[in-house]
Amino acid sequence: MTVIDSHAHFEPRLLDADAAVRKMDEVGVDQVVLIPSMNGLFEAPPDALLSAMRTVMRRRATRGIAEAVHRATLTRSGDLRLGGKVIPIYPLPDNGAVAQVLAAHPGRFLGWIFLNPKHDPAPLETLERWRHVPGFIGVKLHPHWHDYRTALLHPILARCQELRLPVLIHLGFGKRGDFRTLGERFPKLTVIAAHAGFPFFDDLWALKHRYPNLHVDLSSPYLDEALVRDCVAAMGPERCLYGTDAPYGFEDASHSYDYGESKGWVERLPVTTAERERIFGLNFAELISR
């Protein structure tokens, strides 16, 4: 069974590429798709907070509470304020750092090209610059932390649809995560909503028939095993992709990244072997060869 982690970050301050390869070999992950580092955040929020946020986000009536908490953590300059500390969010994550890893470890890593239309005056040129680099397979967008409305993405999404490049998007609240409009305007675009469709979850899963090209990844300590099960039951195994959000969260005993934890979520899913194979790698392999 080929195992591809469709959502991980290149953050050498926590886990460099050589250490990541050793961990991948230990737990049986064949390939990891890397996203350039977008901030200096090294500690996941406490489990109790993440659990409370999941509960309020899963109900439309209380999702606004989670949105208010999120807005309170963003500074006016677009950084994060957590526990009295200001943590920088990088407006233009460094695709070059991932390109170097792709060149050094061909076959083990693939890459997402990070674009931010809010701060990049020419994101289509940035896309053009990186999309020919072997190993880059699609585009990562983060309207949640880069804090822009998804309408700003339309030129990028039109181009990605034309090029058949999948898009991995961490949706934000409200107009910062307008997946309905994206699905209607770009019906042929492959969209992967990060973290099981955060922050919409059930409301996004309910529309899977309307948007046949909408997928989700199962990554991150934002989720837990129960939510992942609900997601796979609602979306179907053919729309779900294994991912980790490494190297954030999931510490092992030595405070290094525990690659096994979120893999266990998928290993224990009540699905057939063929369905598990789809989630672990086959779905992703098909999406990038369209």
5 binds Zn ion (CB under 5 A): no
Tokens matching residue 99: 């390109």
- Complex with Zn ion: residue 213 or 244, whichever CB lies closer: 244
Q: Where does this chain touch Zn ion (CB under 5 A) — which range of 61-69, 153-161, 239-247, 251-259?
A: 239-247
Contact 217, 168 (CB under 8 A): yes
**Eight-class DSSP state of 150:** G
**Cα(68)–Cα(63) distance, rounded to whole angstroms?**
9
With contact defined as beta carbons under 8 Å apart, do 31 and 109 qualify? Answer: yes
Only one of the segments 171-179, 181-189, 245-253, 279-287 lies at the binding site for Zn ion (rule: CB under 5 A); that segment is: 245-253
Beta strand pairing call for 85-87 and 80-82 = antiparallel
> Which residue's structure tokens are 């675009």?
189
Residue from 5, 79, 217, 245 touching Zn ion (CB under 5 A): that is 245
Residue closer to Zn ion by CB (options 38, 102) is 38
- With respect to Zn ion, which residue has the nearer C-beta, 11 or 245? 245
The least CB distance from residue 245 to Zn ion, in Å, is: 4
Alpha-carbon separation of residue 153 from 175, 190, 279 (angstroms): 12, 14, 28
Three-state DSSP at 253 gives: coil
- Residue identified by tokens 């701060």 is 119
Shortest CB 160 distance to Zn ion, Å: 19
Stretch that binds Zn ion, among 17-25, 96-104, 180-188, 241-249 (CB under 5 A): 241-249
How many residues sit in the footprint of Zn ion (CB under 5 A)?
A: 1
How many Å separate Cα 103 from the centre of its chain? 22
Q: What whole-number distance in Å separates Cα of residue 258 and Cα of residue 247?
A: 8
Rounded to a whole number of angstroms, the minimum distance from the CB of residue 162 to Zn ion is 26
Q: How far is the CB of 210 from Zn ion (least distance, A)?
A: 26
Which residue lies nearest Zn ion, judged by its C-beta? 245
Which residue stretch of 63-71, 106-114, 119-127, 238-246 sits at the interface with Zn ion (rule: CB under 5 A)?
238-246
Burial class (CB in 10 A: 0-12, 13-18, 19+), 33: buried
Q: Between 237 and 249, name the residue whose CB sits nearer to Zn ion.
A: 249
Which residues inside 62-101 make contact with Zn ion, applying CB under 5 A? none
Q: How far is the CB of 187 from Zn ion (least distance, A)?
A: 26
Strand 109-114 with 136-141, pairing: parallel
Specify the residue, 259 or 275, whose C-beta has the smaller distance to Zn ion.
259
In whole angstroms, how close is the CB of 172 to Zn ion at the nearest point? Answer: 13
List residues near Zn ion by CB under 5 A.
245
